[in-house]
Copies of this chain bind each other. A is one copy, B any other.
């Protein structure tokens, strides 16, 4: 039997539904998305379903996290496809607020995390994380879930949201979901839809290089040397490199000459106008 996908577009209706669940003792998970859903999102929904009894998915393309020269108006939208996927995934509620519901005319509050937001994506995309942390705080407080699930593909974002949640005492548990990849290794992303045939054929090399650099690092190659090599390999494959950096896995602090604690290799590259990000774990060098 086809199951109807319940949908709400206002905080009031969202809260009424969540409240009725809570009254009957159900635990609630929120999976915030910007739509254009793919297997990566569906894996987060599956995690949510395992950890809570009711799952809310929000779709909101948040204008304030896009820079002036970024792809807000061009960001992929796929209402029909999203609807079908969420219905098939048996999500309990879809929340799709219009922009005015999130940002009324007199809206004037900003939530910012400093420190962990300053390098990597924060360096390349000024104000991006302030947009993310403000909208995530709002979505959390609108839905009031027990847990919220975010993908590790946006690894820095995941850590920023953990810090935000801890700092503001938001009574919500943050759960990270592993990156889901295409058969050829390319990390799933709504932005992959921008890639033309040539770029799409090059794109998987991004992940391959990250894996190779990670092995070099764990094998004992110095950080500067390994990332220099990595940039070289990426440029050789046809990417323009925005950044390629090794950071500690928990606080994203820069690491020393060698990787001595669980770390993360994070990269952002361009293929023509399309910007891709990805990251892989780096195991510490084994002491002989």
The reply on A170 being an interface residue by CB < 8 A is yes
The residue on B at minimum CB distance from A137 is B168
Contacting pair A111 B109 (CB below 8 A): yes
Proximity bits, A157-183, B CB within 8 Å = 1, else 0: 000000110011111000000000000
The reply on A113 being an interface residue by CB < 8 A is yes
A171 in complex: contacting residue of B15, B106, B111, CB < 8 Å: B15
The reply on A123 being an interface residue by CB < 8 A is no
* Complex Cα–Cα for A133 and B111 (A): 10
Contacting pair A144 B171 (CB below 8 A): yes
On chain B, the residues within 8 Å of A116 by CB distance are: 108
Oligomeric state, in copies: 2
A165 to chain B, nearest CB (A): 9
The reply on A141 being an interface residue by CB < 8 A is yes
On chain B, the residues within 8 Å of A46 by CB distance are: none
Proximity bits, A133-151, B CB within 8 Å = 1, else 0: 1000110011010000000
Q: How large is the interface on A (under 10, 10 to 19, 20 to 34, 35 or more residues)?
A: 20 to 34
Given contact pairs A141-B168, A141-B170, A142-B169, A163 touches B114 in the complex (Cβ within 8 A): no
The reply on A11 being an interface residue by CB < 8 A is yes
Interface of A is mostly: mixed
On chain B, the residues within 8 Å of A106 by CB distance are: 163, 251
A109 in complex: contacting residue of B108, B113, B141, B251, CB < 8 Å: B113
Proximity bits, A237-258, B CB within 8 Å = 1, else 0: 0000000000000010000000
Contacting pair B141 A108 (CB below 8 A): no
Proximity bits, A78-122, B CB within 8 Å = 1, else 0: 000000000000000000000000000011111111111000000
On chain B, the residues within 8 Å of A111 by CB distance are: 109-112, 168
